[in-house]
Every structure is written in C-alpha cells, then in structure tokens.
Amino acid sequence: MRLSNRNRARSLAGFTLLELVVVACIAAILGGILLNRMQFYQRMAEKAAMEQTVGIVRSALNLRVASLIAKNQFTKIHDLVDENPMNWLAQKPANYAGEYFGDRALESVVSGQWYFDLKDRKLVYLVHNHKKFVGKKPTSARIRFRTRLVFEENFPGARGQVAGRPVEGVVLEQIDPHVWN
C-alpha cells in the first residue's frame, strides 16, 4: 500500500516538465495570434480615422462651395483649389501638424499626422502603421490629396464659368494609390 500512496502523491504534486512545455507553447501561439490581430485592428482603426477626416474635409468643401454659390460668388470657387482644406473646418483635427513648404514637413511631422504642403498645394497624411501599407513608392508611407475643379462641358448658362469653362463642382481627390493590408 505504501507504493500506491507514493504514486498518488507524485501524480498530485504538480505539472511535469512536458506538461509545462506544452502549456508554454500554447500560450506563445495564442499570444502571437493576439498580437497579429491587434496590429491588424490598429491598421484598420488608422485607416478608418484617416477616411473619417477625409469625409469631414469633403463635407466642409461642399459647404464652402454651396456658400459661394448662395452668395453668387462663382469666380471664388476657383480659389478653393489653392486653399488649405483644413482651413475650411471649424475645428482642425488633433493630429493636424500645420502648413509646411515641400519636404521640410518630414523634419518635424511625425507619422499619423496631417499637414498641408504649401509648395504642391496638397493635403498629406503620413501613415503611422506602415509595415503593411503599400503606397505609390515603396519607401513612402504617405497619402496625398488635392482639390480639383470639376468641369461640365454641357452646362447651360455662363453663371458658373471659370476661365470660360463652366464649373460643375469641386472635389477633394486622392492622388496616391495605396492598399492597407
């Protein structure tokens, strides 16, 4: 009977080394899967925040155009192309860094921030989670937007004409093709 009591005591004492290794491997695999999913959701959250800001700027642009049309100031619509789109907002986003001239922005603007390039007259977003971001240039993790006039060739009347061509509207369009993986 003593022998069976010893075996029982050993089996109730705790984990064997093999059981501990199996548990550690399972925990490592689950941790890796969790980390991978967390990085994916961070990228998707950044994409959603960027798209939300673009949507807000586009809405502000539409309101600005409507305001100019209501005031019968059609010629000022053309000026929107050179303006900083962030100036149309009542409140700028917290991650807006300001206006910079050319590549000087890259000296002080950090990833995850917006800035307006005074040289090219473009609104730029520097991607923060850029490991799986595929942009126009492999080394560039930025998305650029520009304001562009939309012309309607068959627009009746001369009220909305700019430089002899009738303007149908103004759009904020993305310049750089990209993919968020």
How do residues 98-157 score in pLDDT, each as one tens digit? Answer: 899 988 888 888 888 999 999 999 999 988 887 777 766 655 788 999 998 887 665 455
| φ, ψ (nearest 5 deg) of residue 138 | -60, -30
This prediction's pTM: 0.74
> Cα–Cα distance between 50 and 142 in angstroms, integer?
11
How many Cα atoms sit within 13 Å of 156 on the Cβ side? 0
Domain range for residue 159?
2-180
Please give the tally of structural domains in the chain.
Answer: 1
> Cα–Cα distance between 151 and 148 in angstroms, integer?
10
Over the stretch 39-95, which tens digit does the pLDDT of each residue have? 888 888 999 999 999 999 999 999 998 888 888 887 788 888 889 999 999 899 999
